[in-house]
Chain A
């Protein structure tokens, strides 16, 4: 017995190896912690500084006194309006375009080029989307700085990613299912409608939901296409939910955060931190929903 233990007992090289291994583990753990913990700490700090201001009335009141008091109702509803409108434009077009690229388009150089363009467009800097939005929607189409122009700009920004997540979700449905349906006399669209889309819908929705959070948080694309420093808006009643007409400029949460922290003097810090907290909470909630969706997708696999 002791002879066996002696044979497998660690020698000097092995002992040093294990030491290095331990050291590496600790270093990597510390690096990861050093990245994540300060971030969590900063976020906690932001919440703490915002505390005095966070309340229901903060959310539903409009900014007052040249932004030095009041709440964030106008920017909040502006963001919601413009995000909903942009997704209402981008989601149907993007999903159907994804269906086209995945199920109908022939495999040739054009399709490959389109896929390449779509994937790379997702990486274009957001300020370039602002340039496009200004040139095309504000000026050429004559929308002016408005909800319409900003929604269209955001729609173009989110379109490529919706297309890509749709094609990926569709590609995850095994080809054998489609073949089986075709052989049964189902047409292409019938197959897509009854088998392919229903089984890809979770993945598609996850992609769309993620774009909701992205559209809500982006500032650059709406900078010159419609977001304004201040727009007078009603406080109460049903009209306060749709205060902006399609041709009107609007306030937005992300832009409001930018102006209130860099361009407003006399506002309490808490107001700016409060705005930041609401924006972060909005974005994180939407992302959590998409994560929950993804987990549900994984557990409800039908094949």
Chain B
């Protein structure tokens, strides 16, 4: 036996055993409560919107009508088509800019630049990713607004163009970093094989690495889309307040997220408007779940394929 482990140690053992099981119970409790919170969010948001979803809300009107008049005293209308168009247009513009640019930067950082520059760039990107969305909205509203008016002659500078640029700048860091991870995940043996065949770095990138990293890059783009769709404050401040289908990038629009942000404060708890906003929230949650799950599955597939 270990020296001095006698019967009198029994008491101390019982104390420490008690203390230890107390700690383990605290750990289990935290584990279970965290799990509870995680699922609670999903269920609660769905539940608050559910009565109206299966009741007064006409689903066809909801999805196909552009008339969003929740406060009308005559006949409230809850068509979100214009809002969907708002979200879609801003996101599309943002992705059109940020995906190619983000990929290009990811390629540059991963394959073309030196190690010191890489470290510096990665830190800069990480810091840029940390900038809060209200600051981005502020930049769109105060800085980009007059620039757009001056550059395009439009009457107001808060519109799809403004929101799209701001969202693009916000999505670029995540596309860059996930894209760079995707390229890094391609095994070095591919690079060595390509170089041994005499390929230049550019040929190596376009012919070997990009196809191999295709899934990871797709996941990066998806995550960028997810971020853009879910963004609230920046689009609230940068895209304007006009609820209608846009006809040009200079038109102001309103997104789904901004609608919730702008209107939740004025609703009556339990009222129809209140519940419809929760339905929109559920829709946003589903979209983000789908994009995240798909991106996750795609990345998982990549890991399997390369055998890492």
**Which residue of chain A is the closest to B102 with respect to CB atoms?**
A35
Q: Which of A46, A117, A159, A258 contacts B137 (CB 8 A)?
A: A258
A132-B45, A257-B135, A258-B134 known; A28+B169 contact, CB < 8 A: no
Q: Which of B23, B223, B281 contacts A131 (CB 8 A)?
A: B281
Q: How large is the interface on A (under 10, 10 to 19, 20 to 34, 35 or more residues)?
A: 35 or more
Q: Do B260 and A130 have beta carbons less than 8 Å apart?
A: yes
Q: Flag the segment in B73-81, B211-219, B246-254, B287-295 that touches A.
A: B287-295
Distance between Cα atoms of A262 and B238 in the complex (Å): 10
Residue B82, interface by CB 8 Å: no
Chain B contacts of A243 at CB under 8 A?
none
Distance between Cα atoms of A159 and B38 in the complex (Å): 9
Q: Do B112 and A25 have beta carbons less than 8 Å apart?
A: yes
Q: Do A276 and B138 have beta carbons less than 8 Å apart?
A: yes
A42-B143, A160-B38 known; A127+B20 contact, CB < 8 A: no
Q: Do A219 and B104 have beta carbons less than 8 Å apart?
A: no
Which chain B residues numbered 52 to 104 have a C-beta less than 8 Å away from chain A?
A: 101-102, 104
Q: Do A262 and B237 have beta carbons less than 8 Å apart?
A: yes
**Which residue of chain B is the closest to A24 with respect to CB atoms?**
B202
Distance between Cα atoms of A154 and B284 in the complex (Å): 19
Q: Do B105 and A32 have beta carbons less than 8 Å apart?
A: yes
Chain A CB within 10 Å — which of B23, B24, B135 has the most? B135
Distance between Cα atoms of A92 and B102 in the complex (Å): 36
Residue B161, interface by CB 8 Å: no
**Which residue of chain B is the closest to A28 with respect to CB atoms?**
B108
Chain A contacts of B169 at CB under 8 A?
35, 39
Q: Do A32 and B142 have beta carbons less than 8 Å apart?
A: no
Q: Do B127 and A287 have beta carbons less than 8 Å apart?
A: yes
Q: A118-147, CB under 8 A of B: which get 1 and which 0?
A: 111101111111111011100100000000
Distance between Cα atoms of A99 and B28 in the complex (Å): 9
Q: Which of B33, B112, B113, B277 contacts A97 (CB 8 A)?
A: B33
Q: B38-50, CB under 8 A of A: which get 1 and which 0?
A: 1111101100100
Distance between Cα atoms of A272 and B131 in the complex (Å): 16
Q: Do A17 and B203 have beta carbons less than 8 Å apart?
A: yes
Chain B contacts of A188 at CB under 8 A?
24
Q: Which of A104, A121, A261 contacts B31 (CB 8 A)?
A: A104
A96-B27, A104-B24, A163-B34 known; A35+B135 contact, CB < 8 A: no
Question: Secondary structure at chain B's binding surface: helix, strand, loop or mixed?
Answer: helix
Residue A36, interface by CB 8 Å: yes
A120-B292, A258-B134 known; A132+B44 contact, CB < 8 A: yes
Which chain A residues numbered 71 to 117 have a C-beta less than 8 Å away from chain B?
A: 92-94, 96-97, 99-101, 104-105, 114, 116-117
Residue B242, interface by CB 8 Å: no
Residue B193, interface by CB 8 Å: no
**Which residue of chain B is the closest to A120 with respect to CB atoms?**
B292
Chain A contacts of B107 at CB under 8 A?
28
Q: Which of B105, B134, B264, B291 contacts A257 (CB 8 A)?
A: B134
Q: Do A258 and B233 have beta carbons less than 8 Å apart?
A: yes
A32-B105, A35-B172, A104-B24 known; A126+B230 contact, CB < 8 A: yes
Distance between Cα atoms of A162 and B131 in the complex (Å): 19
Q: Do B23 and A189 have beta carbons less than 8 Å apart?
A: yes
Q: B130-165, CB under 8 A of A: which get 1 and which 0?
A: 111111011101110000000000000000000000
Q: Which of B28, B142, B230 contacts A123 (CB 8 A)?
A: B230
Q: Do A125 and B230 have beta carbons less than 8 Å apart?
A: yes
Q: Flag the segment in A53-61, A174-182, A233-241, A278-286 that touches B.
A: A278-286
Q: Do B133 and A219 have beta carbons less than 8 Å apart?
A: yes
Distance (Å) between the CB of A216 and the closest chain B CB?
Answer: 8
Distance between Cα atoms of A273 and B141 in the complex (Å): 12
Residue A29, interface by CB 8 Å: yes
Q: Which of B44, B48, B202, B229 contacts A125 (CB 8 A)?
A: B229
Q: Do A127 and B284 have beta carbons less than 8 Å apart?
A: yes
Residue A247, interface by CB 8 Å: no
Q: Do B45 and A128 have beta carbons less than 8 Å apart?
A: yes
Distance (Å) between the CB of B228 and the closest chain A CB?
Answer: 10
A29-B108, A224-B265 known; A117+B39 contact, CB < 8 A: yes
Residue A291, interface by CB 8 Å: yes
Residue A218, interface by CB 8 Å: yes
Q: B243-287, CB under 8 A of A: which get 1 and which 0?
A: 000000000000001001100110001000000011001001100
Q: Do A32 and B230 have beta carbons less than 8 Å apart?
A: no
Residue B121, interface by CB 8 Å: yes
Closest 9 CB pairs of A and B: A217-B132, A100-B31, A125-B230, A97-B34, A96-B30, A28-B108, A24-B202, A31-B104, A32-B105
**Interface pairs (14), CB distance under 8 Å:** A31-B105, A31-B108, A96-B27, A97-B31, A119-B296, A124-B288, A126-B133, A127-B230, A127-B284, A217-B131, A223-B261, A223-B264, A269-B142, A284-B127
Given A123-B291, A125-B288, A217-B132, 13 extra CB contacts under 8 A:
A21-B200, A35-B169, A123-B289, A125-B230, A126-B133, A136-B44, A189-B24, A189-B27, A216-B132, A217-B133, A258-B137, A279-B134, A284-B130
**Which residue numbers of B lie inside 8 Å of A, CB to CB?**
20, 23-24, 26-28, 30-35, 37-42, 44-45, 48, 101-102, 104-105, 107-109, 112-113, 121, 123-128, 130-135, 137-139, 141-143, 169, 172, 200-203, 205, 223, 226, 229-233, 237, 257, 260-261, 264-265, 269, 277-278, 281, 284-285, 288-289, 291-293, 296
